[in-house]
Amino acid sequence: MMPHPVLDAATTGGLLLVLALVVPLVSVLVAFTVGGRQIQRIALGTMPLGLAIAIAIAVVVWQTRGPLAYLLGGWAPPLGVALRADGLSAVMMVITALVICAVGAFAHADFCSPVGSQEARAPFAFWILLLAIWGALNTIFLAGDLFTLYVALELLTFAAVPLVCLDGRPETIQAALRYLLFALLGSVLYLVSTALLYGAYGTLDIALLALRVHPESATLVAAALITVGLLAKTALFPLHLWLPPAHAGAPAAASAILSALVVKGSFFIVVRVWFDVMPALPGIAAAQLLAGLGAAAIVFGSVVALRQQRLKLLIAYSTLAQIGYLFVTFPLAFDYASAQLARGGALAGGLLQAVSHATAKAAMFMAAGLIYAALGHDRITGLGGVARALPLSVLAFALGGMALIGVPPGGAYLAKELLLQAAAETEQWWWAAIIQAGGIFTGGYLVLVLAHALGPADEPIKLRVDVRWSQEAAALALAVCSLTLGLLPWEAYLSVPRTTPSTSLVFEGLLSALWPVLGGAVLAILLGHWGPRLTRAPSQSLVAMVGSIRRTALVLGRMVERMDGTLRQWPAAGLCLLLLTILFGAATLARH
Amino acid sequence: MSAATIFGLCAAAAIGLGLYGLITNPQPLRKILAFNLLGSGVFLIFGVVARRGAASGFGGDPVPQALVITGIVVAFSATALAVALLLRLFQATGSATLRADASPSPGTDPDAA
């Protein structure tokens, strides 16, 4: 698909775009005004409506084979503001709506105002913030100019930050404050960049900017600033100081939203800026730098995830690693012939990875939340017997993890295939190696958790609360959704070659998914915490043989963990931010 | 040196000071203040852009001015949210710090939550 044509007229179905923004935001206002026990009903009533609108937009995009557009007040850019929906927006909107509906069904039990009481603070805040996040994300997916994107990005942050500290524990408030302050640093860089771009070209409309942008000093500085600002908001390594405590400390439903959707919002803007606004500007060096950070995130996030003792922190660090995956897309999408980023299979792979991570990770966080609520803790070494007590939750976790590894016919499998294909076409074998390594690491922490969860209980498990079937069903549904995403006809929205998966291919895919699991098992044994379990292994000689290798691996793992602790200090993260800005500036400058 | 250049340099200085404070100062309240200084510098850049774009006979390009108003509203709400969180943190713990070692650090204390 080519970059947007300059659309100076609204297309059919343009009104749907307005509805997609207005419906969640109006229900925020209504819910806030009405208050009390009605909030939940309003939120749950909005969800099917929002889902229907997102699906309608996807259908119209499919039928018209082109982007939808709507001009606010009938004013064409550069005077007016346009809303546009292309294939990428349509896909992201539908998946967002799906995840939000599932989280709504999940949170229904956790966040209901008890009968008789007037209004509880946490439910009141949760439902309103959930709707606000939805509205902000839809605005991000549809916005046609950089300033609307800025406002939506800020709305997203302001709605996401309070979700972190819903239960009001001091450490979560601290995590929320860290998140807010670092996110503000990122958004200021974004704002400077919009000022520079407006000063240079007199418009912030994406389609118009794409036509006018040319390499000059102000544009190069703006490109570096906007990229780094968005990376800080996406928590790409090494700018991740806020993510692990924020995502691990929040209530399960909130963690699911934060990890699955909120970080994808700023990733989507990076894609918009790099592919739509300035495809020819950053050049291959900057794209390689971006992917290098992504690769570091995969290795770092995965190793630290394997070293975690708590399940929710493990999942949070896994998010860090999976964010890295998304950024490996950029050099693979580089078209050497035209020397610019092209909307080809690699971008489709990156976006598919984003949506399959969104669904799978939400399912995993929900399952972890159920396990936490039922056991009263989420120590990984104390998970023994939980598979018997909560089979559906563990199944949801396992399926979500398998979807992330890239087991066919999951969305991540298709994404991996597309990225590997792009790596082969552009002859960048090192990124192919990183992609494969990422799968093995993911296998590692999945095996670690499942080995504990499937093991026998040390003492009989007493569940603190009864887990509702509706909550388990919501988690399971999302995991299954992620595992079947690869079967959908994506070619109408993304440039995915149409293939009919034959049975032999699926069999081969399953076989290729075996490697990450086996490699992952080795990694998990080497790096994970096992408690007394490992010494109880049937073959003592094997343990002794593995012992020395494991000791070395543990030393390495501890080193990585300590480095992570250093990088998550404010001054270190701030310096990384400045350094990255300079590096991106230099990389773009080197090209021109 | 034109007025736009002087204001541009002032904006750069404010941004530099704000960035320095936001990154190096460990106290959250000072970080919030530094963010506001940083924001003021950015708004000044918008002012300079409006002035430069006004070369074609207008008194000033109105679009950056409209953007600045939105930016100020956003920065104001960000500050309000940050101060509210900070107050809440102070009420809960009696101190206001962002240091990671003041909170249970991940991986060392599994029973923290």
**Residue A1 clears pLDDT 50, i.e. is over it:** no
Q: What is the pLDDT of residue A123?
A: 86
**Residue B100 clears pLDDT 80, i.e. is over it:** no
Q: Cis ω on the peptide bond leading into residue A215 (within 30° of 0)?
A: no
Q: Are A524 and A534 in contact (CB under 8 A)?
A: no
Q: Nearest chain A Cα to B73, which residue?
A: A151
List chain A residues with CB under 8 Å of B104: 171
- DSSP-assigned letter for residue B100: G
List chain B residues with CB under 8 Å of A189: none
Between A110 and B82, whose confidence is greater?
B82
**CB atoms B92 and A575 under 8 Å:** no
Handedness of CA A560, A562, A567, A568 (dihedral sign): positive
d(CA A218, CA B106): 41
- Partner-chain residue, chosen from A151, A176, A571, that has the shortest CB–CB distance to B85: A176
- Partner-chain residue, chosen from A177, A195, A244, that has the shortest CB–CB distance to B98: A177
Q: What is the pLDDT of residue A72?
A: 86
Domain count, chain B: 1
Is A532 near chain B, with CB under 8 Å? no
**CB atoms B81 and A180 under 8 Å:** yes
Q: Nearest chain B Cα to A167, which residue?
A: B113
Using DSSP bridges, classify how beta strands A82-85 and A68-71 pair: parallel, antiparallel or unpaired.
Answer: antiparallel
Residue B112 falls within a domain, yes or no? no
**CB atoms A245 and B106 under 8 Å:** yes
Q: What is the pLDDT of residue B65?
A: 87
Domain of residue B47, CATH code: 1.10.287.3510
Which ranges in A111-169 belong to alpha helices (H)? 121-142, 146-164
- Partner-chain residue, chosen from A178, A309, A379, that has the shortest CB–CB distance to B98: A178
List chain B residues with CB under 8 Å of A569: 100
Residue B48 falls within a domain, yes or no? yes
Residue B99 falls within a domain, yes or no? no
Q: What is the pLDDT of residue A183?
A: 94
Q: Which of A346, A345, A354 shows the shortest CA–CA distance to A496?
A: A345
List chain B residues with CB under 8 Å of A307: 107
| Helix axes of A283-307 and A311-327: crossing angle, nearest 10 degrees | 160
Q: What is the pLDDT of residue A467?
A: 81
Which ranges in A217-282 belong to alpha helices (H)? 217-234, 243-249, 252-257, 263-271
Q: What is the pLDDT of residue A109?
A: 80
**Residue B111 clears pLDDT 60, i.e. is over it:** no
Q: What is the pLDDT of residue B104?
A: 42
pLDDT interval class at A157 (50, 70, 90)? very high
Q: Which of A148, A224, A153 shows the shortest CA–CA distance to A187?
A: A153
Residue B109 falls within a domain, yes or no? no
Residue B101 falls within a domain, yes or no? no
Residue B29 falls within a domain, yes or no? yes
**Residue A237 clears pLDDT 60, i.e. is over it:** yes
Is B33 near chain A, with CB under 8 Å? no
Name residues 223-262 of chain A within 8 A of B (Cβ).
244-245, 248-249
- Partner-chain residue, chosen from B39, B77, B97, that has the shortest CB–CB distance to A158: B77
pLDDT interval class at A537 (50, 70, 90)? low
**Residue A98 clears pLDDT 90, i.e. is over it:** yes
d(CA A99, CA A314): 21
- Cβ–Cβ pairs < 8 A, chains A and B: 134
Q: What is the pLDDT of residue A158?
A: 95
- Partner-chain residue, chosen from B70, B98, B106, that has the shortest CB–CB distance to A174: B98
Between A44 and A541, whose confidence is greater?
A44
Q: Nearest chain A Cα to B47, which residue?
A: A195
Q: What is the pLDDT of residue A141?
A: 95
Q: What is the pLDDT of residue A496?
A: 75
Lowest mean pLDDT among A3-7, A213-217, A412-416: A3-7
pLDDT digit string, tens, across residues A26-78: 999 999 998 877 888 899 999 999 999 999 999 998 888 878 888 888 888 87
- DSSP, residue by residue, A86-116: -HHHHHHHHHHHHHHHHHHHHHHHHT-PPTT
List chain B residues with CB under 8 Å of A173: 85, 88-89, 92
Q: Are B107 and A307 in contact (CB under 8 A)?
A: yes
Name residues 117-176 of chain A within 8 A of B (Cβ).
147, 150-151, 154, 158, 161-162, 165, 168-171, 173-176
Residue B106 falls within a domain, yes or no? no
pLDDT interval class at B103 (50, 70, 90)? very low
- DSSP, residue by residue, A310-362: BHHHHHHHHHHHHHHHHHTHHHHTEETTTTEE--SHHHHHHHHHHHHHHHHHH
**Residue A306 clears pLDDT 60, i.e. is over it:** yes
Is the ipTM reported for this complex over the cut 0.95? no
Q: Among residues of chain A, what percentage have pLDDT more than 90?
A: 45
Query: Can you tell me the mean pLDDT for B41-60?
Result: 80
Q: Which of A402, A127, A360, A372 shows the shortest CA–CA distance to A256?
A: A360
Distances (CA, A) of A478 to A97, A123, A136: 12, 23, 22
d(CA A216, CA A211): 15
- Partner-chain residue, chosen from A150, A177, A570, that has the shortest CB–CB distance to B82: A177
Query: Can you tell me the mean pLDDT for A568-588?
Result: 91
Residue B46 falls within a domain, yes or no? yes
- Partner-chain residue, chosen from B15, B92, B106, that has the shortest CB–CB distance to A173: B92
**Residue A521 clears pLDDT 90, i.e. is over it:** no
Name residues 57-76 of chain B within 8 A of A (Cβ).
63-64, 67, 70-71, 74
The residue whose two tokens read 């994506």 is A490
**CB atoms B45 and A195 under 8 Å:** yes
Sequence length of chain B is 113
d(CA A246, CA A259): 10
Domain residue ranges of chain A, discontinuous segments joined by +? 14-591
List chain A residues with CB under 8 Å of B112: 171
Domain that holds residue B51: 3-94
Is A181 near chain B, with CB under 8 Å? yes
**CB atoms A181 and B32 under 8 Å:** yes
| Helix axes of A345-375 and A263-271: crossing angle, nearest 10 degrees | 170
Q: Nearest chain B Cα to A189, which residue?
A: B42
List chain A residues with CB under 8 Å of B49: 195, 198-199
Q: Which of A103, A182, A37, A210 shows the shortest CA–CA distance to A473?
A: A103
- Name the maximum alpha-carbon separation found in chain A: 77
pLDDT interval class at A79 (50, 70, 90)? confident
**Residue A87 clears pLDDT 70, i.e. is over it:** yes
**CB atoms B106 and A308 under 8 Å:** yes
d(CA A305, CA A296): 14
**Residue B110 clears pLDDT 50, i.e. is over it:** no
- Partner-chain residue, chosen from A180, A191, A377, that has the shortest CB–CB distance to B82: A180
Q: What is the pLDDT of residue A395?
A: 93
**Residue B108 clears pLDDT 50, i.e. is over it:** no
- Partner-chain residue, chosen from B64, B81, B98, that has the shortest CB–CB distance to A570: B98
Q: What is the pLDDT of residue A116?
A: 59
Q: What is the pLDDT of residue A363?
A: 94
pLDDT digit string, tens, across residues A434-484: 998 998 999 998 999 998 888 887 777 777 777 888 889 999 999 999 988
Q: Which two tokens stand for residue A221?
A: 């500085």
Task: Give chain A's count of helices (H) and strands (E).
Answer: 23, 4
Q: How far is B62 from chain A (nearest CA, A)?
A: 11
**Mean pLDDT for all residues in chain A:** 87
Q: How far is B70 from chain A (nearest CA, A)?
A: 8
Q: Nearest chain A Cα to B52, which residue?
A: A199
Q: Which residues pair with A70 in a beta bridge?
A: A83
Query: Can you tell me the mean pLDDT for B34-63?
Result: 84
Query: Can you tell me the mean pLDDT for B84-94?
Result: 90
- Partner-chain residue, chosen from B38, B46, B107, that has the shortest CB–CB distance to A308: B107
Q: Are A184 and A248 in contact (CB under 8 A)?
A: no
Q: Using alpha carbons only, what angle is made at residue A387 by residues A381 and A392, rounded to the nearest 5 degrees?
A: 130
**Residue A343 clears pLDDT 90, i.e. is over it:** no
CB-count burial class (<10 Å; 0-12, 13-18, 19+) for A381: middle
**CB atoms A570 and B71 under 8 Å:** no
